[in-house]
Amino acid sequence: MRHYSGIDRLIQSFDQGLRSLVPGATAAHRNNPAETNPAPLSVSEARHVAGLMRVNHSGEVCAQALYHGQALTAKLPNVRREMEQAAIEEQDHLAWCEDRLKELDSVPSILNPVWYGLSFVMGAAAGVAGDKYSLGFVAETERQVSLHLTDHLNQLPQQDERSRKILEQMNEDELHHRDTALHAGGVDLPLPVRITMTAISKLMTKTSYYI
């Protein structure tokens, strides 16, 4: 197995960041779960669904950044591999959300580079703090993402099965990642960290819905 230097990993992180932020640069490894034909939506419904999917797309950009940052600073090789594998699985979500935005004649948030940068720094800091905190950070992140997805599922128009199938599969994957992180030794994060994560998440949600 090849051993990468610190410079190699920085270059790899830069490449991963570009792939996460440039539209069309990320390809899904699994088939899109939205197999049904698009249902007709009113103008207001389509606008609302596009806002929700833009938020979820930004959330996946954040997830990519968190995992990339943690993989860069993880101390144990097996934890680094788990972070890298999780980032690959999350690429499916990124591509699916982007596909749905295109179908709705909408685009990702222009603030995604900001969210990526903040999330990368937070992920790298969690990795520096230690692998058990890094895994705990994953578990808490996925828990909060699952709450957002559940809320969005409740807001979707009843006939929008394409968006629903995507969000349901995403939620299933996020909960699996949360459980995997906990079983691997993740610990509960300090309350101030959880509060900060929630505050940033709310800011991202409210702004990415519109821009």
Distances (CA, A) of 143 to 61, 119, 147: 16, 16, 6
List, as residue ranges, the binding site: 60, 90, 93, 142, 174, 177
Say which residues have a Cβ less than 8 Å from residue 67's Cβ, sequence separation at least 6: 83, 84, 86, 87, 90, 123, 138
- Can you tell me whether residue 134 is helix, strand or coil? helix
List, as residue ranges, the binding site for Fe cation: 60, 90, 93, 142, 174, 177
- Can you tell me whether residue 3 is helix, strand or coil? coil
By the 8 A CB rule, do 211 and 179 touch? no
**Which residue is it, tokens 């830069």?**
14
By the 8 A CB rule, do 149 and 203 touch? no
Helices (H), the chain: 6-21, 43-73, 77-103, 112-129, 131-155, 161-183, 191-208
**Sequence letter at residue 211:** I
